[in-house]
Amino acid sequence: MCRMDVPSPCRSSARTLAALLVSLCSAGLLGAAPLAAQRIAGRVLASETRAPIELATVVLLSGEGKSLHVSTTTDTAGAFVLYLQKAGSYRLQVKRVGFKPIQTAPLEVTGPELVTVEVLLGATAVALAPVEITGRAPIASSRLDGFHYRRQRDLGGTFLTREEIDQRNTYQFSHLLGMIPAVRLEQTTDGFPRVYMTRALSGGKR
């Protein structure tokens, strides 16, 4: 047994404090464990693989399917918890991009208990808005119309492809003329080659 001596002038205050503590304990306001709240907890999984679905939205509905403006999202394990104000009948609406939304059957909560549920979502194809790509064909210069006409109909001439020009690796046009069989280049003293046509041009390579 423990004994506490209280000075005579303070005994009245001590009695008042003790009475207050007894009243608080009797009222359940001090030292009492809080009552367990009604909760609905569960997991959201993919129906095909049973893999957890993260960031799924879980909305609390009344038993009649009306929104109660209470919602949460699932964590990396697909788990969620919803706290209820009172017992009753509830439904859950679960949705996630890439999955078909689902609304559960009524869940009956009768008291301060934990109701667990497992929700399976089936994957669905997401229809994206169509994207239209438009372009404009380049307008060919009228100076090249005759060139393309002769080339397409093999009406004669020698045609150098871009690959052949790149392989030549030159910066002088005269070097490209030297690739044509009917053309002869003659070097001059001024450094500019003189071009001679040795014969009429005939159909050549493309």
pLDDT digits (tens, 9 = 90+) for 97-134: 999 999 999 999 988 889 999 999 999 876 778 888 77
Amino acid type, 195: V
| pLDDT for the residue numbered 119 | 96
Position 139 scores a pLDDT of 60
pLDDT for res 125: 76
In this prediction, residue 128 carries a pLDDT of 75
Residues of the chain with pLDDT under 70: 1-36, 126, 136-144, 155-157, 170-173, 175, 178, 191, 199-206
pTM for this one? 0.47
Query: Buried b vs exposed e over 140-150: b needs ≥16 C-beta within 10 Å?
Result: eeeeeeeeeee
Closest by Cα among 119, 124, 120 to 107: 119
pLDDT of 2 reads 46
Task: Tell me which amino acid residue 200 is.
Answer: A
Q: What is the distance between the alpha carbons of residues 181 and 196, in angstroms, rounded to a whole number?
A: 11
Domains of the chain listed by start with CATH number = 39-121 (2.60.40.1120), 145-197 (no CATH)
Report the C-alpha gap between 58 and 47 in whole angstroms. 16
Report the pLDDT value the prediction gives residue 159, as an integer from 0 to 100.
Answer: 72
Q: Return the pLDDT at 19.
A: 52
Structure tokens at 188: 């001059």
Hey, what's the torsion of the CAs at 176, 181, 184, 187, to 10 degrees? 40
